[in-house]
Chains A and B, each alone.
Chain A
Amino acid sequence: MSVFEGFRFRKVSSVIHDLDPRIKFFFVTVLFVMAILFTNLLALVVLFFVPLPFVFMARVNRQWLRSLRGAALLAVFIFATNLIFGYFYPSSSPQITGSVDTLAEFLVLLERASAMTLRFVVLIESFSVFFLTTSPDHLGLALQQSHVPYEFCFAFTTAVRFVPVLADEAQTIMDAQKARGLELERGNFLKRVRNYIPILIPLIVNAIRRSLELAEAMESRAWGASEKRTNLYTLKLRRTDYLLVIVSVLMLAVAVYVWLYVPIPSLTALLSV
């Protein structure tokens, strides 16, 4: 479960946590766009370091590192895939003509594979910062104020609210069935899958029952009484939010300019010179 720790909100008092989720999402989107824009390794390395000040300001260093650790496996897979693909289909890499024969050409391939991997890592780290610093409550509110229909926002926050409840229930069900002799760790793959039926069925049945009870409670508290609901909280943009907007726009502007007019050398070229 440690990978999920890299995306789970923890309540910390920081400037980043207080930022409006919509603005944070805009910032992350800008990073996303920049990551897609560049295929150059050096540029992506710079991008990798961009979220870091935010991580430190939000004091979520340890959890953020966990998201990287979780991404590591997939990153290796992406690296390997790009390497192998690039070797057998060299025409996909612009700098290589014909086949990969020389060391220089191989280095180009390596660099490209690294760049693709780093692009993936940048995406993961950005989203990690977003989810680590945004409470599900705020996220729901942001969705609402972004004119997502209330039903979806409500479904989202209610689902998040019940995650720990369902987790506890799953544990209780496992205990109850273990106490009837069910052994979850034994047997071949097929048997183990079958052994989860006595866990899944009560879980699902109870989830359905729970939904019915929730629906009753919602109706009883006037769900659907008005066309337009009001809200106890509201998200208001503050100075720090506008600051982040300016920073994001500037970043995007610089990135586009560089992409259009500034040829960034490849690492291989730099090293061989």
Chain B
Amino acid sequence: MLANKTLAIIETRDLTYTYPGATNPSIKELSMTINKGDFVILTGPSGCGKTTLCRCFNGLIPHFYNGSMEGTIEVAGLNVADHKIPELARHVGLVFQNPENQLFALSVEKDVAFGLENFAMPREEMRQRVDWALQMAGITELSERPPHELSGGQQQRVAIASVLAMQPDIMILDEPTSFLDPVGAQKIFEVINELNKKLGITLILVEHRLDLAAKYANKVIVMDKGRIVLNGTPREIFTSEEARMIGVGIPKATRLYQQLKQNGVRLKTAPVTIEETAGLLREALKRD
């Protein structure tokens, strides 16, 4: 199915990037399209280039990191190479892996306001935006707390609120749940899912823990050694042999389906979530 050009919000063409001083490019001839409203999971083994690609989306590459970039990348209609990072920041937000190192202020609401202050937004408008962002992230009661007193999960929600306050069209999250326990990770996914489904923000989530995140995404992109190797729906990707070979962590639900299939039992569809699997198994066990 061809990507509808009017829907595309991120487009790359033969994108290649080499860090300064490196001998090999970190991403090679990468071509892909992401549509408005997509919830994309970007995954692949460590060192495959996912983090590098994320930094291309908001302009950190090439403007902050320099190095050599070939090919083109367009985000929200802007050619990344031609626009400075603050300009791109109006359209793309980036949430990083380590919650502690993206909070600079001494109170939560000051952190959430940081981007808006940079945009020189008038105070009254800023106040409204900050309160709105805190509410969307479910952390209104934490507004005056210092970041050091918060748990990792709460800190990440502050980071999300800080980015959300700037009302970007696209939000990228680079392994945001690495340092969180499964319950904390779950909360993060629920919050960003709301942002995607309710506000229409295009999401790109870099994640290894596919079992928790799979149920929210409509697209999975798998990278390996600097290239995109797989691009499809979660169902397609999780049942692909190639994904398993690359070493992607296929959710147990899908693995169960595959094990049954290997032994001659075929469920109607390949499940991706727990609910789906339970439903399919129930059907299979009840039919005679």
Contacts and interface: CB of A to CB of B under 8 A. Distances in A.
Interface of A: 135-137, 140, 154, 157-158, 160-161, 164-165, 210, 213-226, 228-234
Contact of B106 (A135, A210, A224, A231): A135
Contact of B115 (A136, A216, A221, A228): A221
A213 B113 CA distance: 19
A216 B94 CA distance: 9
Contact of B119 (A157, A158, A222): A222
B90 interface: yes
A105 to B, nearest CB: 55
B104 A158 contact: yes
B60 interface: yes
A232 B123 contact: yes
Contacts of B147: 161
Contacts of A228: 120
A157 B103 CA distance: 11
B17 interface: no
Contact of B86 (A135, A140, A210, A222): A222
Contacts of B120: 225-226, 228-230
B104 A220 contact: no
Contact of A217 (B96, B106, B113, B130): B96
Contacts of A226: 118-120
Top 8 nearest A-B pairs by Cβ distance? A225-B86, A217-B102, A226-B120, A222-B89, A221-B115, A213-B101, A232-B113, A222-B118
23 contacts: A137-B107, A160-B106, A161-B146, A165-B100, A214-B102, A216-B55, A216-B94, A219-B64, A220-B58, A221-B114, A221-B118, A222-B85, A222-B166, A224-B86, A225-B86, A225-B87, A229-B118, A230-B120, A230-B122, A231-B117, A231-B123, A232-B109, A234-B123
Nearest to A140: B106
Given A137-B106, A221-B114, 16 more contacts: A135-B106, A161-B106, A161-B146, A165-B100, A210-B101, A214-B102, A216-B55, A217-B94, A217-B96, A217-B104, A219-B85, A221-B166, A222-B118, A229-B117, A230-B126, A232-B130
A220 B101 contact: no
Interface in B226-283: none
Contact of B118 (A158, A216, A223): A223
A63 to B, nearest CB: 19
Nearest to A216: B60
B104 A225 contact: no
Contact of A225 (B58, B101, B118): B118
B98 interface: yes
A158 B110 CA distance: 12
B43 interface: no
B148 interface: yes
B119 to A, nearest CB: 5
A223 B114 CA distance: 9
B162 interface: yes
A126 B90 CA distance: 46
Nearest to A217: B102
